[in-house]
Chain A
Amino acid sequence: METFRLLTALGWRNLWRNQRRTWITFTAIGVGVWSMVFLASLTNAWAMSTFNASINTLLGHGQIHTQHYLEDPGVEHRLTITSQLSTSLNQPAIKSWAPRVRVSAIVQSERESTPVTLVGISPEQERGLSFIADAITQGSYFNNDNDPGIILGQKLLKRLRTDLNKRVVLMSQDVNGMIAEQGFRIVGVFETDQKETETLYAFVSIKKSQAMLGIGDELSEISFLLNNLDNLPAYLDSLHQLIPELKVSAWFELEPFTLAILDMSDGTIAIWTITMFILVAFGLINTLLMAVFERTREFGLIQALGMRPRLIVLQVLFESVLLIGFGVFAGLVTGVLSIEYFSGGLDLGALAEGATMFGAGRVLYPEMDWLQGFYIVIFVWIMGVVFSLYPAWHASREVPVETINKSY
């Protein structure tokens, strides 16, 4: 213990014998760690934004359909809420769920017509589950399950050259294979970051869509959100047992692209951390080597005075532990501060359309991931100390007599 205290003290004092060098190395490590922490959080924010946008755009954490709906999303494939289904949906693991009718249709204004996906929703159940309730920018959301209006995206509205409160006609194939036609008044207009979404969907109330297609109270899909995403596998298992006749899909089976983006962002963070570390290590080894070389005489002397080579190694390692420790800590603090600065949202501004093309939102919200920060800190610290074994080993190999006699 005594030796330990002595060695730490020696290491600490050695650091401040050459303050400028210590500060510069400290800065280099700090900038390196800062960039690791900050970029990791930006990449995470990007991935999370993609994930959330995807979950919000009608996906949910998972969906339930009949066996063949996904291959052929038509009115033929319908499900009813049986007692088993409603038990499985009212488990405590479920935060919310919503029934939907979802078939392809054509929307026609006085001037234009274009294909869309008709989505019949239950306004109250849909709120909080998907984006639509909060995305209305003109007009209003549906009041009840039997609301007679239609909600269209801003971009689709422009394409159809129609406007709020005007009428459009929806055409789709009904349960008998005939074309069902029905007029709706545009009661609401929605806008989203993903402009494509605005042209894809036409929302009507669930009862009206069921009546139009003649399907009673049957549905196309059920989308659900869990309280805790970690419970997804367990919940999926329980669903498979409760309702084996239905097809239950997790979000990543429905949107593999989102999963690929999440995986890629983890890879990016790892590659960047390692690359940056290699650079930091170059500077670190160089600095420590020099700190050791300019003290060859000193090392010879303390060896002559009876210090063991092993302890010299330790002394240099302590120096490096302290030096890296401070750098890493400073990097972490500045990293956290810059994340904090942008935590209100980093607006991608002019480049937002690019972000939305890859499924992310136009504003990123970086968040400090302490576990990840911890990994980065530990990785740099430990690896840095491992790399300083080389200079430390060098220091311990000085032969006392030769080095003491060495003159400059």
Chain B
Amino acid sequence: MIFQLAWRNLWRQPRRTILSSLAIGFTTTLLIFMPSMQNGSYDTMIESTLRLYDGYAEIQQAGYRDNPEVRNSIENYDTALTQLRKIPGITAAGVRADGSAVLSSATRSLGARVIGVQPDIEAELSSIPGNIRSGRYLDDLYSNEIVMGEILARNLQLELGDNVTLLGMGRDGSLAADSLILVGTFSTGINMMDRLMSEMPLGRFQESFSMNGHVHSIVMNGKTITDFEVAQPEARVIAQTNQLELLDWKQLQPGLWQGILLDISSAVLVYIALVIVVAFSLLNSILMSVLERTREFGVLLALGMRPAQISQMVWVETLLMLLFGLILGMLLGYGLTEYYAYAGIHFEQAAEVFERYGLPSAIYPKINLFTFIAGPAVIGSSVILAGLFPVLRIHLMDAVTAMRTV
């Protein structure tokens, strides 16, 4: 009976009910869509940043990241590599060696970072092989070839096929010198990389830098960052058994991780303001629906209905209204998110600039259980809280005075 009463009461003022439900619905839609958008943009950002070069995780000697010295190298990595490749969720694993050197052409000399890579595996670890703009990528583990960033090649005034002289410091402190042929240039869009990076075959690197077969890091990749994070603990154990350190993406790109945290915290501030505003306007409409019925409630009390039943009735009214709003908002929020997850939100004007800094120019919202449930749950509980206040008022009513109220 209480349910029926509540239901009918709601439709005595259809406009108010619809407006209130719409307000809840609108907020719910926002609180599903916006977090999903953030979620999606974080994943794209993380993945596009890490795919560029770092990989989803790296294994190195402890402390190498802060202090990248040539001597801080890994000697045995074959077993670790085989073990890592067996872990489901890790799609590729390879090794790299890292050094800095002066690269000279016939006319110019510039400092650059030189990376020794396994040409066959590198394509699965970073996007550099895919970003070759002229010539080709490396193809042999021992050849005397080098690829470098477009800007670096231009600043060195190099053409494809030209000789490049490399001068650096080897692992044992000896002079590392080599003569290489430029076979390709890449353009990642990141100025720093295109200006400072070059890659050569790992085997040749190890000879030139007297690496004695050592490498500096084991790089891993997965399908998506979410998939990879499932496999990460197992990889960490492998790193530990080899007395090495696993760096996850948060350690590889600490700025990115904190940028995400910062974005989340400012968004939470925004969401709180949204929820407060909607809770207040709901409180208002529930309170008024109670006050305007003071006389009616007085009659109900006089007829023998207990205050608890009346408050139950009002409570059910609030819940029903909330339910409409939430269902509407969740449907809309889900639909909107799924639509944009498919179509993508594009920033056409800024696209070029964003790409230059390796940021994605389109966002694909990603809905998950958390982004789908969290917003509605917060709205639901704050509306329920707001609805508590008018219900308490009913308990203070006295039948006779209430009936006299106009």
| A interface residues with partner B (beta carbon < 8 Å) | 18, 20-21, 24-25, 27-28, 31-32, 34-35, 39, 42, 71-74, 104-106, 111-116, 158-159, 161, 171, 173, 177, 179, 256-257, 259-260, 263-264, 272, 275-276, 278-280, 282-287, 289-290, 293-294, 348, 350-358, 408
B16 at the interface (CB under 8 A from A): yes
CB distance from B360 to the nearest CB of A (A): 14
Q: What are some 29 contacts across the A-B interface (CB < 8 A)?
A: A18-B288, A21-B287, A24-B284, A25-B281, A35-B270, A39-B269, A113-B168, A114-B100, A115-B113, A159-B68, A173-B109, A179-B102, A257-B356, A257-B357, A259-B353, A260-B353, A282-B23, A282-B278, A286-B19, A289-B16, A290-B16, A290-B285, A293-B13, A354-B258, A354-B263, A356-B255, A358-B259, A408-B295, A408-B406
B227 at the interface (CB under 8 A from A): no
CB distance from B73 to the nearest CB of A (A): 15
Across the A-B interface, give the 6 residue pairs with the lowest CB-CB distance, nearest first.
Answer: A283-B281, A115-B111, A354-B258, A357-B255, A354-B259, A35-B273
CB distance from B285 to the nearest CB of A (A): 5
A282 nearest in chain B by CB position: B23
B66, B263, B273, B276 pick with most chain A CB within 10 angstroms: B273
Given contacts A31-B280, A171-B109, A286-B285, 16 further A-B contacts (CB under 8 A): A20-B287, A28-B281, A32-B273, A74-B155, A111-B69, A114-B100, A115-B100, A179-B102, A282-B26, A282-B278, A282-B281, A287-B288, A289-B19, A353-B254, A354-B260, A354-B262
**A104-B111 in contact given A20-B287, A42-B266 (Cβ < 8 Å):** yes
Contact B278 A279, beta carbon cutoff 8 Å? yes
B257-293 interface (Cβ within 8 A of A): 257-263, 265-266, 269-270, 273-274, 276-278, 280-285, 287-288, 291-292
Contact A287 B281, beta carbon cutoff 8 Å? yes
Contact B285 A348, beta carbon cutoff 8 Å? no
B404 at the interface (CB under 8 A from A): no
Contact B284 A286, beta carbon cutoff 8 Å? yes
Which B residues touch A179, using CB under 8 A?
102, 109
B325-360 interface (Cβ within 8 A of A): 349-350, 352-354, 356-357
A24, A287, A293 pick with most chain B CB within 10 angstroms: A24
Contact A279 B277, beta carbon cutoff 8 Å? yes
**Complex formed: what's the CA distance from A278 to B26 in Å?**
9
CB distance from B33 to the nearest CB of A (A): 11
**A282-B102 in contact given A114-B111, A179-B109, A358-B259 (Cβ < 8 Å):** no
**Complex formed: what's the CA distance from A226 to B403 in Å?**
75
**Complex formed: what's the CA distance from A31 to B269 in Å?**
12
Contact A353 B255, beta carbon cutoff 8 Å? yes
**A283-B284 in contact given A31-B273, A104-B110 (Cβ < 8 Å):** yes
**A351-B155 in contact given A105-B111, A115-B111, A287-B281 (Cβ < 8 Å):** no
B264 nearest in chain A by CB position: A351
Contact A264 B350, beta carbon cutoff 8 Å? yes
CB distance from A31 to the nearest CB of B (A): 5
Contact B155 A73, beta carbon cutoff 8 Å? yes
Please tell me which one of the listed residues A24, A260, A275, A357 contacts residue B287 in the complex, with CB atoms under 8 A apart. A24
Contact A260 B281, beta carbon cutoff 8 Å? no
**A357-B281 in contact given A31-B273, A278-B26 (Cβ < 8 Å):** no
B256 at the interface (CB under 8 A from A): yes
Please tell me which one of the listed residues A21, A72, A290, A352 contacts residue B154 in the complex, with CB atoms under 8 A apart. A72
Please tell me which one of the listed residues A34, A173, A289, A354 contacts residue B261 in the complex, with CB atoms under 8 A apart. A354
**Complex formed: what's the CA distance from A317 to B276 in Å?**
26
B280 nearest in chain A by CB position: A28
**A279-B23 in contact given A74-B155, A351-B265 (Cβ < 8 Å):** yes
**A21-B288 in contact given A256-B353, A283-B23, A354-B261 (Cβ < 8 Å):** yes
Interface size class of B (residues with CB under 8 A): 35 or more
B22 at the interface (CB under 8 A from A): yes
A104 nearest in chain B by CB position: B110
B147 at the interface (CB under 8 A from A): no
**Complex formed: what's the CA distance from A351 to B265 in Å?**
9
**Complex formed: what's the CA distance from A280 to B287 in Å?**
17
Which A residues touch B283, using CB under 8 A?
24
| B interface residues with partner A (beta carbon < 8 Å) | 13, 15-16, 19-20, 22-23, 26-27, 30, 66-69, 100, 102, 107-113, 154-155, 168-169, 196, 254-263, 265-266, 269-270, 273-274, 276-278, 280-285, 287-288, 291-292, 295-296, 349-350, 352-354, 356-357, 406
CB distance from B143 to the nearest CB of A (A): 25
**Complex formed: what's the CA distance from A24 to B288 in Å?**
11
Which A residues touch B296, using CB under 8 A?
408
B106 nearest in chain A by CB position: A177
CB distance from B155 to the nearest CB of A (A): 6
**A31-B350 in contact given A116-B111, A351-B261 (Cβ < 8 Å):** no
**Complex formed: what's the CA distance from A327 to B95 in Å?**
63
Contact A276 B274, beta carbon cutoff 8 Å? yes
**Complex formed: what's the CA distance from A354 to B266 in Å?**
12
Contact B13 A31, beta carbon cutoff 8 Å? no
**Complex formed: what's the CA distance from A113 to B254 in Å?**
24
Which A residues touch B263, using CB under 8 A?
354
A353 nearest in chain B by CB position: B258
Please tell me which one of the listed residues B112, B287, B350 contacts residue A263 in the complex, with CB atoms under 8 A apart. B350
Which B residues touch A105, using CB under 8 A?
111
**Complex formed: what's the CA distance from A42 to B110 in Å?**
42
CB distance from A301 to the nearest CB of B (A): 13
Contact A354 B257, beta carbon cutoff 8 Å? yes
**Complex formed: what's the CA distance from A18 to B284 in Å?**
11
**Complex formed: what's the CA distance from A351 to B269 in Å?**
15
Which A residues touch B168, using CB under 8 A?
113
**A177-B108 in contact given A115-B113, A257-B357 (Cβ < 8 Å):** yes
**Complex formed: what's the CA distance from A216 to B295 in Å?**
96
Contact B284 A28, beta carbon cutoff 8 Å? yes
Contact A115 B112, beta carbon cutoff 8 Å? yes
A112 nearest in chain B by CB position: B69
Please tell me which one of the listed residues A24, A39, A293 contacts residue B270 in the complex, with CB atoms under 8 A apart. A39
A360 nearest in chain B by CB position: B262
**Complex formed: what's the CA distance from A355 to B288 in Å?**
45
**Complex formed: what's the CA distance from A287 to B15 in Å?**
11
Contact B356 A256, beta carbon cutoff 8 Å? yes
Contact B258 A279, beta carbon cutoff 8 Å? no
A291 nearest in chain B by CB position: B288
B354 nearest in chain A by CB position: A260
Contact A104 B155, beta carbon cutoff 8 Å? yes
CB distance from A100 to the nearest CB of B (A): 18
**Complex formed: what's the CA distance from A263 to B291 in Å?**
48
